[in-house]
Amino acid sequence: MKQLLFEDDPQFWFETLRVFGHATYGGSDFGEVVATAARIKAGDYDSWHDEWLATAERLAAEAANAHPVSARDAHLRASTYYRTAEFFLHEHPADPRVAYAYDRSVECFHRAIEGFEGIEPVEIPYEGHVLRGYFYRAPGEGPQPLVVMHSGFDGAAEEMHFFGAMAGQERGYHVLAFDGPGQPSAIHRDGLVFRPDWEHVVGPVLDHALADPGVDLAKVALLGVSLGGELAPRAAAFEPRLAAVVAVDGVFDAAAAIVPFLPWDRAEIERRANAPQDEELDAILAAGRAASPTLRWATGHGRYVMGAATDREFLAKYLAYHLDGGVAELISCPALICEATDDLFFNGDADTPPEPRRLYDRLTGPKTLLSFTTEEGADAHCHIGAQRLAFARIYDWLDDTL
């Protein structure tokens, strides 16, 4: 998709398009996004924070005096804008602006869902902690199918409201959206960092969800967004209670987003990343951060969510997120692998196919590949500009499969 704003900063444009996309389910408004983005200086994380925060604060103040439906809508948009405000600040997680904007985002979301039917916050027991999320109860009587869903490297359970939760509820699905380790509520509240063996996250979530008598135990699907397109298939490889898995979008090896910035093959990168020291790699990562807005953000955020002290340590940890070694072949339930034809992170190159294709080709069970294109306005990573279209096709596939 053509960059309409921040022409020299693909990362700022992608995150702006992401906010635009949430308008589909009430999470933003076009004019608010344009007006806010117009005040932001490209590449300036402080400017990004200040302008999104100003928009969020204005809306939250307006919601305080609004009538119920208007207050619900304003709180929902304010929640998005607060979350967007602190998005680029995670390289310095102790910055008080991070906690303030994150807490206000969650608070506004909770205020918003009070105005919707059948949505409630949940806490799921997990290794001496809780995983926080939201249960969307489908209308009607009797057992209903369930979609358990989560985001990826940087998305929140609250954002899943727009990335499939509302779409599922209105189609007669129960939906459980949650944050796992490394994701916002787990890292902000409890310091829980990402772990690659995601089946040990999904297992307790399913234990909790399947205890609900309203869930049809034979019709349970797992959906992951972005890095969740690797995490969810990883869990599905070891979780027999799933009747389907959806990867939005498919990821076979998450390191594919970073390997192109480095002058070695994957094996050499892994050796160097795990060495006691490697000044050449450190220097290349530092230069890459200076040259690439995407690498700058990914390493700063990645150190926080992976529990790494340096860029090289982050890289070493991130290399563990893949489905090689026979893991992909263990997935036996039907799998829907989505792909974006102009993905900012996982589109491959002349020597490597796009990540969704790599994952699809390794699957040995029932599988479907679903492509989203430029002509549809859906070619961006996770189809952030075309969420109605994307989830219409995804839920139609789930209807047919379950």
CA distances 94 to 153, 194, 365, Å, are 19, 19, 45
Q: Hunting for tokens 């063996």 — which residue is that?
A: 197
Residue-level pLDDT at 347: 87
CA distances 19 to 23, 227, 373, Å, are 7, 18, 20
108 sits in which H/E element: helix 96-113
Residue environment code for 44-62, b if the CB has 16+ CB neighbours within 10 A, otherwise e = ebeebbebbbebbbebbee
CA distances 5 to 39, 75, 265, Å, are 11, 26, 34
Fold of 118-253+321-401: Rossmann fold (3.40.50)
Residue-level pLDDT at 60: 98
| Tokens linked to 65 | 């005096």
Residue-level pLDDT at 3: 84
| Tokens linked to 401 | 């499969």
Provide Rg for the chain, Cα atoms.
Answer: 20
Residue-level pLDDT at 352: 85
Amino acid at 378: A
∠ at Cα 174 (371, 370), nearest 5°?
A: 5
Q: Return d(Cα 249, Cα 345) in angstroms, integer.
A: 11
Name the H helices within 252-292: 266-273, 279-291
* Residue 185 a catalytic site member: no
Is 266 in a helix, a strand, or coil? helix
| Tokens linked to 51 | 């302008």
Say how many C-beta atoms besides its own lie within 10 A of residue 222's C-beta: 29
Q: Going along 3-138, which residue ranges are E strands? A: 119-126, 129-136
Q: Return d(Cα 39, Cα 176) in angstroms, integer.
A: 36
Contact by Cβ (8 Å): 24, 60: no
CATH number of 10-112: 1.20.1440
Q: Return d(Cα 35, Cα 129) in angstroms, integer.
A: 41
Say how many C-beta atoms besides its own lie within 10 A of residue 247's C-beta: 29
Task: Examine residue 249 and say whether the peptide bond preceding it is cis (omega within 30 degrees of 0).
Answer: yes
Q: In what order do the strands lie in the sheet with 119-126?
A: 119-126, 129-136, 174-178, 144-150, 215-225, 244-248, 335-340, 367-372
Indicate the domain borders of the chain. Answer: 10-112, 118-253+321-401, 257-318
Q: Return d(Cα 83, Cα 151) in angstroms, integer.
A: 14
pTM check: above 0.95: yes
Q: Which of 226, 292, 332, 371 is catalytic?
A: 226
Instruction: Give average pLDDT by consecutive 10-residue segment, the chain, 402 residues.
Output: 86 95 97 98 96 98 97 98 98 97 98 97 98 96 95 98 98 98 98 98 98 97 98 98 98 93 94 96 94 92 97 97 98 98 85 93 98 93 94 98 96
Residue-level pLDDT at 351: 78
| Tokens linked to 219 | 């019709």
Q: Return d(Cα 44, Cα 142) in angstroms, integer.
A: 52
